[in-house]
Structure 1
């Protein structure tokens, strides 16, 4: 065993003889630290610890009496040299990382990889955030979706994050559809302006990249025939996308707010949704009264077997395929739905359903204040100073308006027999 006292340990190592077979000498100074002696006489440091309850062994570096000359060694490396003090300090750091379930072997191998930094970025977003508080859960989920769907598939060739420059950003953005370009660029702006990334790369990559042009504002509103086509297609679609689309069309809520809906956000009778401020785009708590047709859809979903996330624990997400995360396969879901659309719909997005609901509410003579309360959207008639003083929630009016819209929607989608033509005499 290596003595805990530095000078005695150094003298002990100096007098070691090459063994006939590989040996490991435990250190008396730091539990789990070993000096490995090879028959060739080569000496190296390793630490044994546990990650997630499983034992792991991490090579810290080679032994050298003088060490690397650096005051602090940040991560393990087979090529670096460590004296006794450096090896003990690094062993303590590695063990602390392991206690936080950060596999030090991966930290060593992937510190420069894109995957490592995206993982750290998402972990920071959910824990401490970038401005002193965690980002909203829905925002972090959207970060993860953009990374997995729009960025990583196009940057498979990147093996070291330090090789990325503004040309890689431009090439990536050019490959994306117009609707995804600005979202991806906004995420990369946050990512490459994050101080740990700047320190590691040595520059701010995004400074030289041009932001994609702002997309033109859409004004697409579905006609009654198109509303009927979408509703019937949603009826033909499997869980979860069909029911999700129907609730979007019945309530006018934002796509992610319904897609991320939790059973705990629903009232016992399934006739009300209560969103906390952390779940909404504007940070305002929002109550959505559900018409009977929406309640019927949710009751049918409640009768389905819930997805388990662990033995005896069911997922809280209403729309999910794996239990631990909400449904996010919108592109594939829309493709599947469009196969059932008759007639086919030209150039439409899920967000058009929200605009369509707003337009149909206006046709039903619902006031703008109530419509904005339903949409949780304070940018129109009730805004500015008026919004500050108007704290009325329009609860009864919202329920009445959504009931009117549900009745009208049922009239739109019902199949009526065509009148028979009578031949003239």
Structure 2
């Protein structure tokens, strides 16, 4: 039917009992409103393209698109069609282009899109620390193997193999990789980037189970062997290993020690929260043995180099890297030293150990030295050893206790290295406590 449409008439328009009703506007010739029995009202433009082909592009639904706006949209569409445009063909081409883009989008491109969206999420944003961890995992583990492939062409076998390979090389890191990859692929499925899930929904227990907690602790003799194995290394490498032993800090924390973090006058290394695993900064004492290692790598320009100048890298200003190669050299040196000292007898290899075992060794050593548990936990910047109630009601920063605990540990190591009994280190806080 034809008629001049008005807002009042449209508001009172009832849907047909069955089928559909079409009303052609007499004001804008070509504008059509289709009404279904379900009450759905759809605007479209009915006309012919320049080559005579009939076309009927949809322009919206009523009442979301009111009469005035529908007429304006219809006039624009009719003008375009008269000029040679074909809206339906353009939409079809756009859909095809989207499908083509989706088919060609690489894993790297989709990862970047996913990360950007998650980092910009207002309701559940990633923390800076977690965003950096995701970036590191993607750049280290995912992009090198699958980055250049189209995401839709990857298979479940590709992704499970990625996690399985990581599990063989580094079981603990495989769990983190699984979490990141699983989150990404769930998002990809929800967005329609892939038609099917590419990782099992509950596959973590099988594909990347958490490894058993390590309990390896080096004996005093083994610790001394590691210390002496660094004697043939360069000063920066030697400082890295020895500061790991003395400070009980994590590998990356020591590897990136910077000029601005060290107060040489006070013998303090202050780790900012941005560089610690739990986001909590703390101060580490540098007794004479530790200060000697820092002094050996202190840059010629000192503080003029800038606070961010990292002291241990092979390239000036960068942090130390090459953990695996260094570990292999240290192990080889220890084996060689044991052979030299064996006097021809059978040589027993040192039981396998990792860099992180030095941290556990220090923590265990503090207990042996009689350091209270909460002080020793604070000394390695652990918060997991305290209950939620303790963390809520005991907000003491343990700064003095950390200095005391690590000072006693460093004195113990000094005793091993110099073959002298460890002198007790007493901080100002200790003196006050004893005087009370």
Q: Identify the TM-score tier after normalising by the shorter chain.
A: 0.5 to 0.7
> Relative to structure 1, is the Cα distance of residues 414 and 153 closer, same or farther in structure 2, using a 3 angstrom cutoff?
farther
Which one of the candidate residues 395, 399, 410 is aligned to 2:403? 399
Instruction: Tell me by how many angstroms 1:351 deviates.
Output: 1.1
Could you say which residue in structure 2 is the equivalent of 1:338? 331
- The answer to whether residue 187 in structure 2 is matched with residue 184 in structure 1 is no
Shift of 1:355: 0.6
- Residue in structure 1 matched with residue 228 of structure 2 by the alignment: 232
In the alignment, structure 1 segments of 5+ residues that lack a partner are: 1-13, 15-63, 81-107, 417-425
Does the CA-based 8 Å contact 1:252-1:375 persist in structure 2? Answer: yes
Deviation at 1:270, TM superposition (A): 6.8
C-alpha distance in 1 between matches for 2:173 and 2:368: 32
User: 2:189 touches 2:197 (CA, 8 Å); kept in 1?
Assistant: no
**Conserved 8 A contact 2:188-2:194:** no
Indicate the SS of the match to 1:273: strand
Where does 1:362-373 land on structure 2 (aligned, <5 Å)?
Answer: 362-373=367-378
Q: Is the 8 A contact 2:259 2:307 kept in 1?
A: no
State the alpha-carbon separation in 2 of the partners of residues 322 and 129 from structure 1.
Answer: 37
1:264–1:208 Cα change, 3 Å? same
Deviation at 1:367, TM superposition (A): 0.9
Q: Give me the whole-angstrom Cα distance separating, in 2, the residues matched to 1:66 and 1:280.
A: 60
Distance 2:128 2:405 in 1: 30
Can you list the C-alpha shifts for 1:279-338, whole angstroms capped at 9, x where unaligned? 3222323222322322221222213689x9xxx989533343457864443222322332
Higher mean displacement: 237-246 or 394-403: 237-246
- Alignment check: 8 A CA contact 2:103 2:152 kept: no
Against the structure 1 CA distance between its residues 191 and 270, is the aligned structure 2 distance closer, same or farther, given a 3 Å change threshold? Answer: farther
> Aligned residue for 2:415?
411
Structure 1 residues 195-246: Cα deviation after superposition (integer angstroms, max 9, x where no partner): 6994433454234472222211111000112101211223333364432222
Secondary structure of the residue that 2:376 maps to in structure 1? helix
Query: Which deviates more from structure 2 when the two are superposed, residues 370-379 or residues 341-350?
Result: 341-350
Q: Does 1:135 align with 2:119?
A: no
Q: What is the alpha-carbon distance in structure 2 between the residues aligned to residue 252 and residue 411 of structure 1?
A: 17
> Which residue of the partner structure matches residue 113 of structure 1?
106
> Where does residue 296 of structure 1 map in the other structure?
292
Alignment partner, residue 274 of structure 1: 270
1:393 match: secondary structure: coil
Deviation at 1:373, TM superposition (A): 1.1
Alpha-carbon distance change, 255 to 159 in structure 1, aligned in 2, over 3 angstroms:
same
Change in Cα spacing, 1:246 to 1:131, as seen in structure 2 (3 Å) is: farther
Q: 1:384 to 1:132 in 2, by over 3 A?
A: closer
Instruction: Choose which of 213, 216, 220 in structure 1 pairs with 2:212.
Output: 216
Does the alignment pair 1:167 with 2:142?
no
Task: Summarize the Cα distance change of 1:280–1:303 in structure 2 as closer, same or farther, 3 Å threshold.
Answer: closer
Alignment partners' CA distance in 1, 2:193 and 2:242: 47
Cα distance, 1:271 vs structure 2: 2.3
In 2, distance between residues paired with 1:160 and 1:287?
48
Residue in structure 2 matched with residue 386 of structure 1 by the alignment: 390
From 83, 87, 91, give the equivalent of 1:70.
91
Q: CA deviation at 1:339?
A: 2.4
Partner of 1:95: none
TM-score by length of 1: 0.62
Distance in 2, matches of 1:219 and 1:169, equals 31
Bigger share in helix: 2
Q: Judging changes above 3 Å, is the alpha-carbon distance between structure 1 residues 209 and 130 closer, same or farther for their aligned structure 2 residues? A: farther
Count of residues in Structure 1 that have an aligned counterpart in Structure 2: 318
CA 319–217 in structure 1, closer or farther in 2 if over 3 Å, else same = same
Name the residue aligned to 1:377: 382
Q: CA RMSD in A?
A: 4.0
The equivalences for 1:70-109 within 5 A come to: 70=91
C-alpha distance 70-413 of structure 1, shift in aligned 2 (>3 A) = farther
TM-score, reference length from structure 2: 0.61
Residue 385 of structure 1, CA deviation: 1.2
Query: Unaligned 5+ residue runs, structure 2?
Result: 1-49, 51-83, 339-348, 421-436
Flag the structure with larger Rg.
2
Q: Compute the displacement of 1:347 (Å).
A: 1.9
1:154 CA drift (Å): 4.2
